[in-house]
Structure 1
Amino acid sequence: MRIDLSGKTAVVTGSTEGIGFAIAKGLAEAGAAVIVNGRKSATVEAAVERLRQIAPAQKHRGVASDLGVASGCAALVAAAPAADILVNNLGMYGPKDFFDTSDEDWERYFAVNVMSGVRLSRSYLPQMRENGWGRVLFVSSESGLNIPVEMIHYGVMKTAQLALSRGLAKRMAGSGVTVNAILPGPTLSEGVAEMLEAERRKSGKPIEIVATEFVTSQRPTSIIQRVASVEEVANLAVYLASPLSSATTGAGLRVDGGVAESLI
């Protein structure tokens, strides 16, 4: 099986590092021209340069904008008005007790995790439908199925992404455009490593061991009993962005190491 995305343009949000960059890298390696997004120009340009080193044949570029606000989404669309593939990867997370989570916290999480995907999908889907081909992908989480008690706000947003992707897939029925979501489990991205840094310093253990201990204690239903790599998550995303996934739409596909306790 060979994935060929030559001639395709992909917009990947929140793609300067972590799962987002791994997806951007995978798409670039498959032949797509990738538009990198992040809030800071320096990190965006650094990520674009990395892609150029990996896949120099395509014209990769970056757009620095805050997609947590409407004006930032508009700026991205203005700079990149057409795309064949949209990966709504942008998200924020962090543990916080429900009773300490303010209205402002909820509104910011909703703006970043949900409304960014709403706004960009609303902008790019009509053109994809007109072309008769397109791929929209939401990076949700197993937390959308197993709401984590330590960050209920995050779980709610990830559930919303699942509902949004399913609804958009139905809205695009018969158009040649597919919309799906992937559900990563614990993944050793830079963000997760930062979240576990205090424990790493306290224990003196390598971050991989700390992350594995987090999985076994906080996500004991994990079947692989370890964190996933960002590349393992990206592999599924690249497949879903390709022509090979043409019969898959409206789906929530798990790459969670078996954490979610459900058959489907």
Structure 2
Amino acid sequence: MDIDLGGRVALVTGSTQGIGHAIATRLAQAGAAVVVNGRVGGRVEAAAARIRDAVPDATVRGVVADLTDGEAVDDLLLEVPSVDILVNNLGIFGARPALEIDDAEWRRYFEINVLAGVRLIRAYLPEMMARGFGRVLSISSDSSVVIPVEMVHYGVTKTAQLAVTRGFAKVAAGTGVTVNSVLAGPTHTGGVEELVEQMVGADQPWEQAQRTFMREHRPQSLLQRLIEPAEIANMVAYLSSPLASATTGGAIRVDGGYVDAILP
């Protein structure tokens, strides 16, 4: 399957590491001009440089912006006024007992995991619709369907993300623009390594700790291992392409069979 994104501009939020960085790299490999985004200038430039090293002919630039800050979003839109592919990857997670999560923390999770993406969809979707092509993708989670008891606030924001996707897909109906969520399962990132250490302890080798985490805390995974970020990125590249023109309004699972249901 030849995925050709030549001539397309892609913005991937939260793309200095982990899933976001893997997505930005994969889109660059497919020929898209990629905009890397993060909050810290040095990390943004380092991430862009890693993509250039991996894809020597890539067109990559970095834009520093805190997407929870309305003025910073306005500045980003001045630098990147138009995109063909928007990947809302920015997100936070962390384990905390549900009864200890205060209002401020709930608001912080909604601001980062939900509203930051809504702002960018609101900004970029009208031009996509007028142009007759566009791809909006939000990186959601198995936690949107199987709410984890140790991360209720995270799960709820990811559920909201699915509703945002479905709603904006209806807004874009009949225009040639698709809006989807990618429902990622437990994935091997730096943040998840920290979560695994928090949940099972730091006194064992990583491979053993990973197996213990999956067995004790994610036993319903059919993959029985953490997903690699590149595996998520492959699905995003497909959904970003013209090949996925009939897929919209959906929650596309790359969850290793984690969600125990025929449909999400």
TM-score by length of 2: 0.96
Q: Helix, strand or coil for the counterpart of 1:140?
A: strand
Partner Cα distance (1:74, 1:140) in 2: 24
Q: Does residue 1:257 correspond to 2:225, yes or no?
A: no
Of 1-10 and 46-55, the range deviating more from structure 2: 46-55
Of 77-86 and 67-76, the range deviating more from structure 2: 67-76
Deviations 1:166-215 (A, max 9, x none): 1111110000000000111110011111223456763231x233122211
Counterpart mapping for 1:129-140 below 5 A = 129-140=129-140
Counterpart mapping for 1:14-53 below 5 A = 14-53=14-53
Counterpart mapping for 1:64-83 below 5 A = 64-83=64-83
1:238 partner letter: A
How many residues of Structure 1 are paired with residues of Structure 2 in the alignment? 263
Partner Cα distance (2:199, 2:160) in 1: 31
1:21 partner letter: H
Structure 2 CA distance for partners of 1:258 and 1:79, relative to 1, 3 Å? same
Which residue pairs with 1:87 in the alignment? Answer: 87
Which residue pairs with 1:164 in the alignment? Answer: 164
Deviations 1:44-86 (A, max 9, x none): 0001111122223343101111112222222221211110000
Partner Cα distance (1:179, 1:125) in 2: 10
> Cα distance, 1:233 vs. partner?
1.0
Alpha carbons 2:51, 2:58 under 8 Å: kept:
no
Q: Helix, strand or coil for the counterpart of 2:186?
A: coil
Q: Helix, strand or coil for the counterpart of 1:4?
A: coil
Q: Does residue 1:9 correspond to 2:14, yes or no?
A: no
Alpha carbons 1:69, 1:111 under 8 Å: kept:
no
1:114 partner letter: V
Alpha carbons 1:95, 1:151 under 8 Å: kept:
yes
Alpha carbons 1:5, 1:242 under 8 Å: kept:
yes
Partner Cα distance (2:207, 2:15) in 1: 22
Which residue pairs with 1:245 in the alignment? Answer: 244
Structure 2 CA distance for partners of 1:199 and 1:122, relative to 1, 3 Å? closer
% of aligned pairs identical? 51
Which residue pairs with 1:184 in the alignment? Answer: 184
Which residue pairs with 1:233 in the alignment? Answer: 232
Q: Helix, strand or coil for the counterpart of 1:261?
A: coil
> Cα distance, 1:130 vs. partner?
1.2
Q: Helix, strand or coil for the counterpart of 2:67?
A: coil
Of 68-77 and 231-240, the range deviating more from structure 2: 68-77
TM-score by length of 1: 0.96
Partner Cα distance (2:201, 2:219) in 1: 23
Alpha carbons 2:28, 2:59 under 8 Å: kept:
no
Which residue pairs with 2:108 in the alignment? Answer: 108
Structure 2 CA distance for partners of 1:53 and 1:167, relative to 1, 3 Å? same
Partner Cα distance (1:20, 1:202) in 2: 26
Which residue pairs with 1:154 in the alignment? Answer: 154
Alpha carbons 1:188, 1:211 under 8 Å: kept:
no
Partner Cα distance (1:129, 1:29) in 2: 26
RMSD after superposition: 1.3
Structure 1: which 5+ runs fail to align?
none
Q: Helix, strand or coil for the counterpart of 1:250?
A: coil
Q: Helix, strand or coil for the counterpart of 2:56?
A: coil
Deviations 1:14-33 (A, max 9, x none): 00000000000000000001
Structure 2: which 5+ runs fail to align?
none
Alpha carbons 1:92, 1:109 under 8 Å: kept:
yes
Partner Cα distance (2:199, 2:231) in 1: 25
1:37 partner letter: N
> Cα distance, 1:99 vs. partner?
1.1
Partner Cα distance (2:128, 2:21) in 1: 23
Structure 2 CA distance for partners of 1:219 and 1:201, relative to 1, 3 Å? closer
